Amino acid sequence: MSLIKQPITGMKDILPREMEIRDYVMDVVKDTYKSFGFVSIDTPCMEHIENLLSKQGGDNEKLIFKILKRGEKLHVAEAISEEDIVDGGLRYDLTLPLARYYSNHQNELPSPFKALQMGYVWRADRPQKGRFRQFMQCDIDIIGDGSNIAEISLIVATSSLLSRLGFKDFTVRVNDRRILKAMAAYSGFSEDKMDEIFIILDKMDKIGIDGVKEELIANGFESEKVEKYIELFSNLKPDAEGLEQCKEILADYIDTDIIDKLLQIFAMVGGTRDTSFALTFDPTLVRGMGYYTGTIFEIGMEGYSGSVAGGGRYDEMIGKFTGNSAPAIGFSIGFERIIMILMENGFKIPSSKEKKIYLTEKNISNAKLAEILAFTKVERANGRIVQITPMKKNKKFQKEQLEAEGYTEIIEIYNDEQ
């Protein structure tokens, strides 16, 4: 039986051109975020199964790649339940591992702690365009800062990153989970039904406001309450004015300081941002993760469905590990989606380094090869990208390929000349 040359479904091989772009984007990510004071960390790809199944990850907990116990601890024949054979799983995001990491090392870390984490995560999802079972995530998080400065820093840092990568006309959408709950309470819905309501509301961008209305009624919610709920979304402005409307309408259902803090975020980010992106208030923004407790945000781009970045506050997660709560907030960019967009748009990496190549004839002499090797050593020391490769019979096609790879100087080397 022959071996299988295709990768596992939902995972992919990365060709050199894409890898070059990925490396470039990772360098820009690190450089940009470090300029905002974030420091790099890393966590294991495996986590305790108890952590992964702690009802923090929403639907992602249904998509965990579970890992069997190892060695003498594994007795499949004697297993009665999954707990008997499973004790770990591949991480489905970077937030839960960060919370465990911080809880384990908080006495060794500064406060507030500003973490930058890049790494692969795994979800047993149905593969589709731009969605894989193994994919890179890139997160920035601030733990220990409950002020609006944390939100402002994350929004400004992430929008600055996207601007550096050449993206324009993107939209940063902001909401607060507490506003979502207040709107549902105002409409007459009980708290125990809110998660079900928010799951339907989260489909707004796919089925529209009429679709949300129809689905709420189809799921047994009273039409009078649904009408009142839908009317709220129809009338709110997508800016600071909409927040002022919420402050007036929802005064009996929410601490208005929460809305005042969002207004401050709008004022501060609006005063510092450039014209490459818009900042909007989106009362329909839900975010599916179960750990969000306050401010939430997403970034969308014109012409592309879904979001390219998202995050929010998860102030209760650290306390589940330590027993003591700590304010925490994070923003994650959709690394794979950004790479896909760059490649579809024919992105070319800006490079200040000259790329040079020597094409040597088939029977190049040792003396001539040694001479070229000496030249390339000096050129690399001066910061150039230089390589030596044999000359092919079809030189024209070979040169076209090399030019497409960014080589600006192609030198043919023969025994009798340089």
* Listed residues 304, 322, 344: the one ending a domain: 344
Residue type, 212: V
Q: How confident is the model at residue 52 (pLDDT cuts 50, 70, 90)?
A: very high
Rounded CA-CA distance 360/388 in Å is 7
One domain, residues 320 and 196: yes
Residue pLDDT, tens place only, 250-277: 999 999 999 999 999 999 987 665 667 8
One domain, residues 48 and 168: yes
Rounded CA-CA distance 156/208 in Å is 30
Dihedral of the alpha carbons of 21, 24, 29, 35, in degrees to the nearest 10: -160
Q: Answer whether residue 3 is part of any domain.
A: no
Segment 9-17 shows an average pLDDT of: 91
Q: How confident is the model at residue 21 (pLDDT cuts 50, 70, 90)?
A: very high
One domain, residues 293 and 384: no
Rounded CA-CA distance 134/303 in Å is 25
What is the tally of structural domains in the chain? 2
Nearest to 122 by CA among 136, 109, 110, 143: 136
Least confident of 16-25, 93-102, 391-400: 391-400
Q: How confident is the model at residue 418 (pLDDT cuts 50, 70, 90)?
A: very low
Nearest to 287 by CA among 313, 253, 262: 313
Q: How confident is the model at residue 416 (pLDDT cuts 50, 70, 90)?
A: low
Least confident of 75-84, 89-98, 199-208: 75-84
Nearest to 63 by CA among 130, 121, 139: 121
One domain, residues 322 and 364: no
Least confident of 38-52, 95-109, 200-214: 200-214
Rounded CA-CA distance 330/332 in Å is 7
**Residue 147, token pair as written in the block:** 């002020």
Rounded CA-CA distance 194/180 in Å is 9
Segment 223-239 shows an average pLDDT of: 89
Residue 296 CA, distance from chain mean position: 14
Rounded CA-CA distance 175/182 in Å is 12
Q: What is the pLDDT of residue 155?
A: 94
One domain, residues 54 and 132: yes
Which residue matches tokens 């030019």?
A: 403
Percent pLDDT > 90 in the chain is 54
* Listed residues 284, 318, 344: the one ending a domain: 344
Rounded CA-CA distance 131/337 in Å is 8
Q: How confident is the model at residue 72 (pLDDT cuts 50, 70, 90)?
A: low
Q: What is the pLDDT of residue 135?
A: 93
Q: Answer whether residue 96 is part of any domain.
A: yes
Q: How confident is the model at residue 69 (pLDDT cuts 50, 70, 90)?
A: confident
Rounded CA-CA distance 94/117 in Å is 7
One domain, residues 235 and 196: yes
Q: How confident is the model at residue 355 (pLDDT cuts 50, 70, 90)?
A: confident
Residues 330 and 382 sit within 8 Å (Cβ to Cβ): no
**Res. 417: pLDDT tops 60:** no
**Residue 84, token pair as written in the block:** 């008997």
Residue pLDDT, tens place only, 140-186: 999 999 999 999 999 999 999 999 999 988 999 999 999 999 999 99
One domain, residues 280 and 388: no
Q: H-helix or E-strand containing 47?
A: strand 46-48
CATH number at residue 283: 3.30.930.10
Bridge-based pairing state of the strands 277-281 and 170-176: parallel
Domain of 107? 16-344
Residue pLDDT, tens place only, 193-212: 998 999 899 888 889 888 99
One domain, residues 48 and 151: yes
Residue type, 260: D
Rounded CA-CA distance 414/331 in Å is 55
Least confident of 211-220, 252-261, 353-362: 353-362
Mean pLDDT of the chain: 89
One domain, residues 289 and 385: no
Residue type, 376: T
User: In degrees rounded to 5, what are phi and psi of residue 120?
Assistant: -80, 145
Could you give the maximum distance between any two Cα atoms of the chain, in Å? 91
**Res. 67: pLDDT tops 50:** yes
One domain, residues 115 and 166: yes
* Listed residues 322, 344, 366: the one ending a domain: 344
Q: H-helix or E-strand containing 359?
A: strand 355-360
**Res. 239: pLDDT tops 50:** yes
Q: How confident is the model at residue 40 (pLDDT cuts 50, 70, 90)?
A: very high
Q: What is the pLDDT of residue 79?
A: 59
Helix axes 240-249, 256-272, angle to 10 degrees: 170
One domain, residues 203 and 340: yes
